[in-house]
Amino acid sequence: MLNDIINISLEAGKIVREGFGSRIEIELKKQNDKNLVTQIDKASELAITDFIKKKYPSHNILAEESGELNNNSEYLWVIDPLDGTTNFAHGLPIFAVTIGLQKNGETICGVVYDVMNDVMFTAEKGGGAFANSKKISVNENNMLSQSFLVTGFPYNISDNPDGALDKFVELVKASRAVRRLGSAALDLCYVANGIFDGFWEINLQPWDMCAGILLIEEAGGMVTDFKGNRMNIFSPKVCATNGKIHQQLLEFLK
């Protein structure tokens, strides 16, 4: 199944890459919203869901643009056909295609395809995490003050939900640096491969993080909600680290 996920992500990635930089229609998901969608998000998702419906017609699907297909299966495919749509729409080459596969509520494998760098991040439960077939692991830093962190802001950030802006300011002061890349799936991969020491965000959706959570766990890191409970893809607040700075980061997020 991992091979299928890799192949369909490559195919969806090709659609995204070919659409990048061309004249594309940008829609607002809701009026006055910051949340965008393009025809490329939809085309990428259609390629993925068509494949699943043909090869695994009895499986459940949860996909960002087309919603839920419930066949009462033990398998659930969780799909973000283009993570980083705002970057994509503005010509910034930081975005991904990501697919996670769950069996009875546990993620058993997943991929994040970094489209413009042509890097395929893959993980299987119990089998480690890889970038283009090379094993990856989290870094060893154990001091928040020396940490290189990454975060994201939800589309309703102007309401400062959960004091997110205040936490951001505090963590900018407490760490070495904080980045905001615009693709939660890639943020998680860059913790898994040791670039970042930690990532946090509120109001994430299951498709943003299903594969990325498994990648971090399989790379030796830790992913919890802000209370320190083990993460499930339906908890919107995520704290993901190398494990070593986890408690220190949680102190700021609690």
- Main-chain dihedrals φ then ψ at residue 126, nearest 5 degrees: 80, 0
DSSP-H helix ranges across the chain: 2-19, 39-55, 85-90, 164-174, 184-192, 206-218, 246-253
Burial of 240 (0-12, 13-18, 19+ CB in 10 A): buried
Judge whether 108 and 236 are in contact, CB under 8 Å. no
Min dist CB 179 to ligand IPD, Å, is 11
Burial of 232 (0-12, 13-18, 19+ CB in 10 A): middle
Beta-strand pair 148-151/238-241: unpaired
In the complex with ligand IPD, the residue whose CB is nearer, 84 or 100, is 84
When binding is defined by CB under 5 A, the residue of 38, 45, 83, 249 that contacts Ca ion is 83
Residues 72-91 that bind ligand IPD (CB under 6 A): 80, 83-86
Q: Which stretch binds ligand IPD (CB under 6 A): 55-63, 105-113, 167-175, 177-185?
A: 177-185
Min dist CB 246 to ligand IPD, Å, is 21
Could you say whether residue 208 binds ligand IPD (CB under 6 A)? yes
Min dist CB 237 to ligand IPD, Å, is 12
Residue 218 interacts, among ligand IPD, Ca ion, none and using kind-specific CB cut-offs from 5 to 8 Å, with: none
Site of interaction with ligand IPD (CB under 6 A): 80, 83-86, 152-154, 182-184, 201, 204, 208
